[in-house]
Every structure is written in structure tokens, then in C-alpha cells.
Amino acid sequence: MQIIIVGCGNVGVTLTEQLMREGHNITVIDKQAECVEEVTNQFDVMGMVGNGVSFTVQNEAGIADADLLIAVTASDEVNLLCCLIARKTGGCHTIARVRNPIYNKEISYIKEELGLSMVINPEYAASCEISRLIKFPSAIEVDTFAKGRVELLKCRIDEGSVLHGKPLTYISGGLRCDVLICAVERGDDVFIPSGNFILQEKDFITIVASPKKADDFFKKIGAVTDRIKSCMIIGGGETTYYLAKQLLPMGIEVKIIELDEARCDELSELLPQATIIHGNGTERSLLYEEGLLNEQAVVSWTSMDEENIMLSLFAKSVSKAKTITKVHRISYDELIASLDLGSVLYPKHITAEYIVQYVRAMQNSIGSNVETLYRLIEDKVEALEFRVYENSELVGVPLKNLRLKENLLIACINRRGNIITPGGQDTIEIGDTVIVVTTNQGFCDLKDILR
């Protein structure tokens, strides 16, 4: 597809890399010449220096032939105006990043009135990710499918775990748990395992299950399942606001530490049920004074990666809290992976994932559609949810008779709310949503799983 990306910041660059890798023709637009030069030197894409709002600039960038324009500049208003002009001029699909909480309640109206294909709020999306992690104390990563009925959870096999040295068949036979391990990370290797795969201590496993069955699995392997009742958030930005709005109704005590006094006053008015502390969250004495040792979750969400990393390492060393760490730069991802930081979230990846999911859905054939897409284990694995709309060569055929590609697992079938852990005799039917986990890349249609 022909795609125009307006804005060469963190999200713009991440999108450029991912969409180029999937074979799309990309043109980037930015007012800063050095930003455009850096992107075009790094990737095989076209670049234009100029204001993406300008009709002339969009025209020169090829808006008349574009399939999609994505506006991810630092300004919400610029993004919306870019999309409006592109919609009126080229008639293409449009996606806008909109961050200001003022617009959050009006997203549906804005989307409908401006004819936008998609509006994404990165801070709200990140807060949803954090909230899901807090609901599952033992999980390092949590992703949801089938409107929350199915969850994809990543956890670590601890030393002395009942899973050490056991084949995958032990989970259903020995533990009597109806969950499916769909990926195993062992050092630098990633496996889509079969039933006779032997698990080991320190493996990172990704399971697919309903929330209730996942909870049963964690209890039987001796993992922490008690509900988190308190959370300390260091950094009082927009993500923190959205997160607190989700945690407080769940009965979780929220404590926010923020350096800027004016922002503290603002948060106090917006979040009267939360405890707002004016101070430097990196000061050890303040953290002790505010009860870090007794917190059950600590979210390090300042604007500095180094601060977030140090805060999470410190919280891990002095408490049993679940730690969630914000990291912007991925230059040191190998080093970060070697540190015990708990859950690490990259906000720009969250935004890019939603947009790539939409692009995949645009490419689908009539028979099925990509509903959800997650990239796992440093982009080595993809988990996709397809909805089956029409009859095809897959429908009604027992799974054992399908010639599936290697390194691929049909992890779950959702049939009108009934969650099926598939076996060889099960079939895919029209109306199902099917979850596929694979190390293959670029699936746009369910039929892509076949050889």
C-alpha cells in the first residue's frame, strides 16, 4: 500500500520501520529537515520537508494515490487537520494520534464528523496496558483477545517450580488446567512448542486462557494471585491520570509522586480519591517515607528512561512490589532485557501496534479479517485474532487435516463467547474468531496460516 506518515518523532519512526518491513511504500513528512534526512538515510522510504497540513505538501507527497495517511506529530490539532485535508483531497483512510484528555470523551464524535478511520490516544492505550498488568500480579505481559474473554499472559518459570522438567502435556494431564502454552522463550531462542516440549527453570512462557482458567493455572503452579490493593506511581503525566481513573474504581489505593507543584494541584482536583505527593520520586528518603516497602505495585513513569530503570531496580531490591517500567529508547533493549525490571513497556510500540493492526485489516481478503494483533518477545512472535466472515478452505475441516505452516499454533477459537482450546478434531466455522500464534510475519488473512 501507499502510506504517508506525517511526523518523524518516536512513533513516526517506529511506524516507518514496521510498515516498511511489511512491504508498504512509505513517504514521510516533517517540518524538520534533519528529521526527514535521518529517517530516509536509515530506511528505504521517500521523504518531504514541509508542513503536513499544507494541501500543496500533501499533493506533492502523492496523497491522490495514497491508501492511508497517518498523522503522528506532537500537535493533536495538526494531526486532525492533516487527516481532514487528506480525506477531502485524496479520499484515503486516515489515522490521527490525539493525546489531550480534553478530546478523550469526544473521540467518537471527532472520528465520525471528520471521517477518520482511527483515532489513537497513546497515553490512554498505555494506561490500559498497565491496568491489565496490575490485575495479574504474576504476569510480565498481558494482552487481551475476544473482547476480554481470552488473555495472553507471559510469566517466568521460577526455580523449584512444579513445571521444571515437565512436558507440556503435564499441564492438562497433571495439573488439570485448561490453558495452552503457545510460546517459550529460552535465552535467545523462541519456540512454538509441541506437547512433548520439556519446560525448564528460567523459561519465559506465554499462555492463552480465559481469565478464570489463567487464575487457576497460576494458583496450581504456586504463583502470586492475590489482588493488588495499592499502587505507587512515580510521575504525574497524562498516562498516570488515565491509569488512576482505572485503578481507583477497582478499589486500589493510588499514590502519585510528582515533582511539578502546579501539576500536583491539577491532579488533586482531577483525582480527589488519590494521594498526590509533591516531591522528587528519585529521593530514597521520600520513597521510604511514603511507604515504598509496603506497596504492592510500583509504576515508574517519569520522562527519563534512566530514572525509571533505577527506580524499578530499587523498588525490586527493597520490596516485593510488582514493578512496571516505562522506556522510550530501544537502543539498549538487550541490556534492559538482562535486568530484573519486572514489566517493561515501550509507549511508542503500543501506539504502533494498534496502527499496524489496522493496516493489516485493510489488506484482508473478504473471507476473514485481522481483529487484533500483538507483537511478542522483541517482535519475534506475532499473536493475531482473525474473524471468519465467509466460507473458505479452512471452514469445517478438522484442524488435524489442515496443512499448517511450521512454527505456528492455533491457540484458541471463540465461538459466540464459548472459548475453545482447540484439539485435532475441532473445526473453524463462520462467525468464529481464531487466535493464531506464530514466528512467521505479515499474516493478513486466516488462509495465510496454510502452506
Domain coordinates of the chain in residue numbers? 2-120, 230-345, 359-449
Q: What is 2-120's CATH number, 3.40.50.300, 3.30.1280.10, 3.90.226.10, 3.40.50.720?
A: 3.40.50.720
Task: Indicate the CATH number for domain 230-345.
Answer: 3.40.50.720
- Arithmetic mean of pLDDT, 175-184: 93
DSSP label of 162 = T
Reading the block at residue 441, the C-alpha cell is 510475519
Per-residue pLDDT of 219-250, as tens digits, reads 999 887 788 999 999 999 999 999 999 999 99
Q: Do residues 328 and 305 touch, judged by C-beta distance below 8 A?
A: yes
**The pLDDT value given to residue 137:** 85
- Arithmetic mean of pLDDT, 109-129: 90
- Arithmetic mean of pLDDT, 55-66: 94
Look at residue 145 and give its three-state secondary structure. strand
- Arithmetic mean of pLDDT, 386-404: 90
Reading the block at residue 334, the C-alpha cell is 538487550
Reading the block at residue 160, the C-alpha cell is 523449584
Q: How far apart are CA 136 and CA 277, in angstroms?
A: 26
**Residue 22 clears pLDDT 60, i.e. is over it:** yes
Q: What is 359-449's CATH number, 3.30.750.210, 3.90.980.10, 3.30.70.1450, 3.40.50.9100?
A: 3.30.70.1450
315 CB-contact burial (10 Å; exposed 0-12 / middle 13-18 / buried 19+): buried
- DSSP for 248-294, written as a single string: GGGT-EEEEEES-HHHHHHHHHH-TTSEEEES-TT-HHHHHHTTGGG
**The pLDDT value given to residue 331:** 63
**The pLDDT value given to residue 430:** 93
Choose between 291 and 331: higher pLDDT.
291
Q: How far apart are CA 26 and CA 13, in angstroms?
A: 11
Q: Are strands 230-234 and 253-258 parallel, antiparallel or unpaired?
A: parallel
Please give the mean pLDDT across all residues of the chain: 91
Q: Do residues 420 and 340 touch, judged by C-beta distance below 8 A?
A: no
Q: How far apart are CA 388 and CA 449, in angstroms?
A: 13
Same fold, 2-120 and 359-449: no
Q: Is the dihedral of CA 353, 357, 363, 367 positive or negative?
A: positive
